[in-house]
Amino acid sequence: MLLDPIERENGSVRIRTVTPGESLTEQSHRATTNINVIVAKARKGIPVHTNQEPYFGDFTSGMDYRENLDKIRDCERDFLSYPPEIRKRFRNDPSQFLDFVLDPANSKELQEMGLTAENTPAIPGSQDETIAPEGEAEAAT
């Protein structure tokens, strides 16, 4: 790489970078990265370049964006109510905690941490029902 100073008429100096030999810039992407081409496609309604393949599915859970966002915020708030030692165990990331809680292989550790329904004190006036794990429902009757 060489620096080529060029003096202008007004006395200022422009520094130009000159690369000797073959350029390493790939010109094959020129059309797809040209802002004028991208804007023209967007105006015509053509999807702009993306590396992600489209995915299809049934997304009719009945919950809208606001309800889902509220549920996420509730989970984050609940996670932040746990002692710092528990939050640190999951790097202060509610999604890591949720993945851990939903894995049945972690039930013993959850119990040791005091986070199972058996260790949770009942909330006075609560009408929530605790769902017993499989097999325990028959034993209770």
pLDDT tens profile 76-115 = 999 999 999 999 999 999 999 999 999 999 989 988 888 8
| Cα–Cα distance measured from residue 2 to residue 17, given in angstroms and rounded to the nearest whole number | 6
Contact 50, 42 (CB under 8 A): no
pLDDT in tens, 35-55: 898 888 888 887 776 666 767
Q: Where are the domains of the chain?
A: 66-116
| Cα–Cα distance measured from residue 43 to residue 45, given in angstroms and rounded to the nearest whole number | 5
pLDDT in tens, 50-59: 666 767 777 7
